[in-house]
Amino acid sequence: MNFLAHIFLSGSDPEIQLGNFLADMVKPKDRMLYSEGFQKGIELHQIIDEFTDHHPIVKESKKVIWDSYRHYSAVLIDIFYDHYLAKNWSEYSNIPLRQYVNDFYTLMHSSYDELPRGGQHILPFLEGEDWLYNYQYIDGIHRVLQGMSRRASFDSKMERGAADLKAHHEEFDTHFKSFFPELQSHVKKEKLRLGLPI
């Protein structure tokens, strides 16, 4: 799953949200520099990724675009699934997406000094281009993928991803709607195991 799903699955605890969102930007040796809640967010991020990466529905989604993108298929499917979460947001949250995203940007700003360097670096792009809100639009996904393609070390072809999202939109929508409730259920069980708020 990508940024929006990681934040959403964290629940309402701000430190868990930040840890889950920024987990990939924290080196293992630096984890102890952060609060307990932030560390729990990192752990939750890893739980979500482990479940997602090995789920048969997600593997089915990757197969659809594997010939075009190979190992980048996983990255694209993570972003595509965020598109469906944003597009169908009202089915999952009572808080309007615009408000939810703005609240998260506010949290990032209020915690700026405690963020890892990667988090500080990404904030102007995250907010300036309004990634989280614009995931609901195929044009928004296209802009995100263009930026990622420019930053990739190799010719990832990710800038073409939005066309494949559009071409297989109904199929990916079916995959997401089957997969995401299972992920939510798994995350709930893991939160109970870790003693985290549901």
Q: How high is the mean pLDDT of the chain?
A: 94
Residue-level pLDDT at 147: 81
112-128 pLDDT, tens per residue? 999 999 999 999 999 99
69 Cβ neighbours under 8 A, 6+ residues apart = 76, 156, 157, 158, 161
Name the region of 130 (left: φ>0; alpha: ψ -120 to 50; beta: rest): left
**Gap between the Cα atoms of 155 and 26, Å rounded:** 26
Residue 17 CA, chain-centre distance (Å), reads 11
User: In the structure, what pLDDT confidence band is assigned to residue 198 with cuts at 50, 70 and 90?
Assistant: confident
The DSSP symbol for 172 reads H
Q: Are 169 and 160 in contact (CB under 8 A)?
A: no
pTM of the entire predicted model:
0.95
Position 14 scores a pLDDT of: 97
Task: Tell me the DSSP string of 100-150.
Answer: HHHHHHHHHHHTGGGS-HHHHHHHHHHHHTTHHHHTTSHHHHHHHHHHHHH
pLDDT in tens, 132-148: 999 999 999 999 998 87
> HSE-up of 146 (CA within 13 Å, CB side)?
9
Q: Is the pLDDT score of 10 beyond 80? A: yes
Residue 92 carries which DSSP code? T
Return the SS3 of 55: coil
* Averaged pLDDT for residues 43-64: 97
Domain count, the chain: 1
The terminus-to-terminus CA distance of the chain in angstroms comes to: 19
84, 176 contact by CB (below 8 A): yes
Round to whole Å and give the CA distance between 43 and 46.
Answer: 5
Tens digit of pLDDT for each residue in 149-167? Answer: 776 656 668 889 999 999 9
* CA 30 to the chain's CA centroid: 22
Token digits for 139?
A: 């044009």
- Domain range for residue 30? 3-194
